[in-house]
Amino acid sequence: MAAQTRRDFFKTSALLGTAISGISNKQIKAQSKNILSENRMGVLVDTTACIGCRKCEWACKTAHNLPTLPVEEYDDRTVFKKMRRPDDKALTVVNEYQNSTKFPINVKVQCMHCDQPACVSACIVGAFTKKENSSVIWDTNKCIGCRYCMVACPFQIPAFEYEEALKPDIKKCDFCFDLTKKGKIPACVEICPVEAITYGRREDLIKAAREKIKNYPTRYVNHIYGEYEVGGTSWMYISSKDFLQLAFPKLGRDPAPGVSEAIQHGIFAYFVPPIALYALLGGVMWLNKNRKKTESETEI
Amino acid sequence: MENFRSAPIEKKFFTPIVLLLIVLAINGMIFLLGRFLFGIGAVTNLDNQYPWGIWIGIDVAAGVALAAGGFTTAALGHIMYKEQYHAIIRPALLTAMLGYTFVAISVMIDLGRYYYIWHPLIMWNGTSVLFEVGMCVMIYLFVLYIEFLPIVTERFIGRVSFPGFLKKLNRPVDKLLRVLDRTLDKTMFIFIIAGVVLSCLHQSSLGTLMVIAGPKIHPLWQTPILPLLFLLSAISVGLPMVIFESLITSRSFGLKPEINILSNLGNMVGPLLFIYLAFKIGDMVIRKTFVYLTELNSASVLFTLEIMIGIIIPLRMFLSRQVVNSPLGLFTAAFFVIVGVLMNRINYFLVAYTPPYQFQTYFPSFGEISVTVGFIAIEILLFRKMVMIFPIVSLPETGSQKTKYFIRGKSQ
Ligand code: SF4
Ligand code: SF4
Ligand code: SF4
């Protein structure tokens, strides 16, 4: 009987081992590191140029078939009294902050399209993907509505349709992927009357921003927000005021998913630790059981 | 060692407490219906700042931790092969099975698109901690059902009797049960070990869940060793949970508590709590986060309470011989550990979470609380019903029938 159990045990463990390592190989391939294209696009937002006309809000809604007020209503500046956040009804919003000079500072907010997006790393079913042209987009056919992407995003961007009972969506700026994949420019960039937002190769934009900061050192603080934050973002900002005072989150340079992915890969390195634990426990169990057997035999 | 035999308990099902639980359960289900008819926003206080509330923090995170009795007793009884503990394996197994079933249900009701709950099975994202937790919990739930099957076969072999025209099925079903019983007898060790491995994996990964939230989590809790802390706390709450339940069960059915076994279990809790405490304090010292304890705010107060109530007080109690040998002492000490772990999970998932743009703080709505309470009530009711149907609780007996995981002795 003991021999039987033992043979069974080894047979099944071996089988289980191969099955799991087979799975793990597939998985390692499937999650190949997301390769960032040299030519990925980005947007530079010059908050000193933005006049707070909110035309971008209107254009964004129109481009995404979201209900919107007529464009004239967007001249209403009383909305600036409260800080607003993008949500399921508006993928981008403009906020206003007071300044020591006469002119307030307006800041457009939307998804930053991170180079190492936390949402992509976190999503349980991989509904988010980082596209070659930089867009981070969401796939309605996969999403199960767990809202882990919202927990993960360092900029608090993904929004959930809480009032929707049957098929709630995650809503966020998609970098107008439908337009940009055809080589067109995003709706908000297109409409901006003062060119406060510039669409272009991310590298070129960084150069341009550095140039601006160098040429107008009194106009800008020496910081391109998004150049390095959480490993770099596609949308970047320059401003005349410290970004923390404009309600930008204070973030380090490490990619947001870094630590958690490192832990995950540590625990699951090719499934070796779990299998080793399995083998160890199996061994302990077998030994203890045998010891018990011999004990009871000697008793008799 | 006293001989024991697991048997269905024969008592009245309805008591005043049972009626109260039924009322709570119905109340919860009404709000749950509201969630399905009108959406998550209609019943909960969740919003874009606080995407997760008590359904995740309590029902799922704390639920998983408090169901840890299942794998700790399995490890103790089957893997370390300490036969004296076989008496407590079945109740712990039943709790784990019910607990995890409700964890799965709670995850499901919290999903915006609950009918897609199977998506992770075919849509994999290896970098996602949630994916790993989800998979492990799903497989473990399946393992728990298999581990429970021998109890079902024991109950029904030779006793299958369908009424009326279904009578014809009696024989084949009985045969099926016997085949099942024999197969499980030989293969059960695979599932038992798998259950322990899976538990270690997801208990720790639950702790990794919020690591990706980075600075949103208060530094008192946010540490890279979270998975280890979660695993250690799960292991140290497993046995207190078993003690707690066992004492309540004997009390409510008027049985004599198996104080010998429980005291022995209690003696193991002290060292486990000590290890947990050492890592928790060590982490705080190494990351120098104790500076946050000098500020007086809800985070520092709750962190201190969590350590005092959940670790230090019960640690002291479990080290005292007097406490460990008295049912009341054991009960109180175990209760402290349980409350402590519950607090820890709530703190980590809810209190420590501060979104970068916060317009108002989160407090669970009446509906959310009702659903959570309702689920707990249903779990208790099911536990009561199950121990009356199945041979789970062991009753002292003179005959000697050993209960192993292959339950039916060779003699039969
Ligand atoms: S800002 Fe948030 S939602 Fe946008 S890509 Fe980064 S992590 Fe994802
Ligand atoms: S809510 Fe949807 S997109 Fe967000 S993490 Fe969950 S499955 Fe992924
Ligand atoms: S890029 Fe497109 S989706 Fe994003 S804010 Fe601009 S218009 Fe809206």
Three-state helix/strand/coil letters over B151-194: HHHHHHCCCCCCCHHHHHHHHHHHHHHHHHHHHHHHHHHHHHHH
Q: What does the pLDDT look like over B353-396, one tens digit per residue?
A: 999 999 988 999 999 999 999 999 999 999 999 999 999 888 76
Question: Which of B202, B210, B230, B225 is closest to B50 using CA atoms?
Answer: B210
B208, A148: Cβ pair inside 8 Å? Answer: no
Chain A residue closest in CA terms to B225: A263
CB of A8 less than 8 A from some CB of B: yes
Pair B12, B344: CB distance under 8 Å = no
A126, B124: Cβ pair inside 8 Å? Answer: yes
How much is the pLDDT for A4? 43
Q: B353 by DSSP, 3-state: which? A: strand
A160, B110: Cβ pair inside 8 Å? Answer: no
A87, B48: Cβ pair inside 8 Å? Answer: yes
Please report the atom of ligand 1 found closest to the CA of residue A156: 2
Q: B306 by DSSP, 3-state: which? A: helix
Q: Report d(CA A247, CA A242) in Å as an integer.
A: 9
In a domain, A196, yes or no: yes
**Domain residue limits, chain B:** 15-44+367-386, 45-354
The residue that leads in pLDDT, A296 or B196, is: B196
Distance from CA of A131 to the nearest CA of B (A): 16
Tell me the mean pLDDT in the region B261-279: 92
Of residues B49, B116, B189, nearest to A285 (C-beta): B189
| For residue B45, pLDDT beyond 90 | yes
How large a percentage of chain A has pLDDT more than 70? 84
Cβ burial, residue B42 (10 Å; 0-12/13-18/19+): middle
B197, A263: Cβ pair inside 8 Å? Answer: no
Residue A126 domain boundaries: 46-200+249-292
Of residues B40, B52, B128, nearest to A123 (C-beta): B128
Distance from CA of A155 to the nearest CA of B (A): 7
For residue A154, list chain B residues with Cβ-Cβ distance below 8 A. 214-216, 356
Pair A176, A63: CB distance under 8 Å = yes
Looking at the structure of chain A, the number of domains it has is 1
Q: A180: domain CATH number? A: 3.30.70.20
Cβ burial, residue A70 (10 Å; 0-12/13-18/19+): exposed
Question: β-strands A235-238, A41-46: how paired?
Answer: parallel
**A-proximal residues of B, 75-94, CB under 8 Å:** 75, 78-81, 83
The end-to-end CA distance of chain A, in Å, is: 18
| For residue B200, pLDDT beyond 70 | yes
Of residues B123, B189, B211, nearest to A259 (C-beta): B211
Work out the pLDDT band at B56, boundaries 50, 70, 90. very high
**B-proximal residues of A, 247-276, CB under 8 Å:** 247, 249-251, 256-257, 259-261, 263-264, 267-268, 274
A154, B214: Cβ pair inside 8 Å? Answer: yes
Q: Report d(CA B339, CA B342) in Å as an integer.
A: 5
In a domain, A27, yes or no: no
Q: Report d(CA B121, CA B118) in Å as an integer.
A: 6
The end-to-end CA distance of chain B, in Å, is: 24
How much is the pLDDT for A20? 41
| For residue B397, pLDDT beyond 60 | no
Tell me the mean pLDDT in the region B161-184: 85
Q: How many CA atoms lie within 13 A of B49 on its CB side?
A: 15
Of residues A83, A159, A250, nearest to B48 (C-beta): A159
Q: A120 in ligand 2 pocket by Cβ < 6 Å? A: no
Which numeric CATH code is attached to B45-354? 1.20.1630.10
| For residue B239, pLDDT beyond 80 | yes
B355, A156: Cβ pair inside 8 Å? Answer: yes
| For residue B107, pLDDT beyond 90 | yes
How much is the pLDDT for A44? 96
How large a percentage of chain B has pLDDT more than 70? 95
How much is the pLDDT for A281? 85
Of residues A9, A156, A268, nearest to B189 (C-beta): A9
How much is the pLDDT for A169? 94
The residue that leads in pLDDT, A101 or B156, is: B156
Mean pLDDT across chain A: 84
Q: A110 in ligand 3 pocket by Cβ < 6 Å? A: yes
Q: Report d(CA B344, CA B233) in Å as an integer.
A: 9
> Which stretches does DSSP call E strand in B303-402?
394-396
Distance from CA of A63 to the nearest CA of B (A): 23
Tell me the mean pLDDT in the region B92-97: 93
Please report the atom of ligand 3 found closest to the CA of residue A63: 7
A259, B212: Cβ pair inside 8 Å? Answer: yes
Token reading at B65:
């931790």
Residue A36 DSSP class: P
Q: A138 in ligand 2 pocket by Cβ < 6 Å? A: yes
ipTM associated with this complex: 0.88
Please report the atom of ligand 2 found closest to the CA of residue A138: 3
Distance from CA of B319 to the nearest CA of A (A): 28
Name A184's Cβ contacts closer than 8 Å, sequence gap at least 6.
A176, A190
| For residue B127, pLDDT beyond 70 | yes
Residue with tokens 């457009």: A108
Q: Ligand 1 pocket: which residues have CB below 6 Å?
A: A 111-114, 117-119, 136, 153, 155, 157-158, 172
Please report the atom of ligand 1 found closest to the CA of residue A172: 3
How much is the pLDDT for B64? 94
How much is the pLDDT for A11? 46
CB of A159 less than 8 A from some CB of B: yes
Q: A188 in ligand 3 pocket by Cβ < 6 Å? A: yes
Q: What does the pLDDT look like over A167-187, one tens digit per residue?
A: 999 999 999 999 999 989 999
Q: A132 by DSSP, 3-state: which? A: coil
| Mean pLDDT, 10 residues at a time, chain A of 300 residues | 44 44 39 69 94 93 93 90 93 91 90 94 94 93 95 95 93 94 93 93 94 93 93 94 92 83 74 81 82 61
| For residue B346, pLDDT beyond 50 | yes
State the distance from the centre of ligand 1 to the C-alpha of A110, rounded, in angstroms.
Answer: 9
Residue with tokens 């290896």: B126
Q: A143 in ligand 2 pocket by Cβ < 6 Å? A: yes
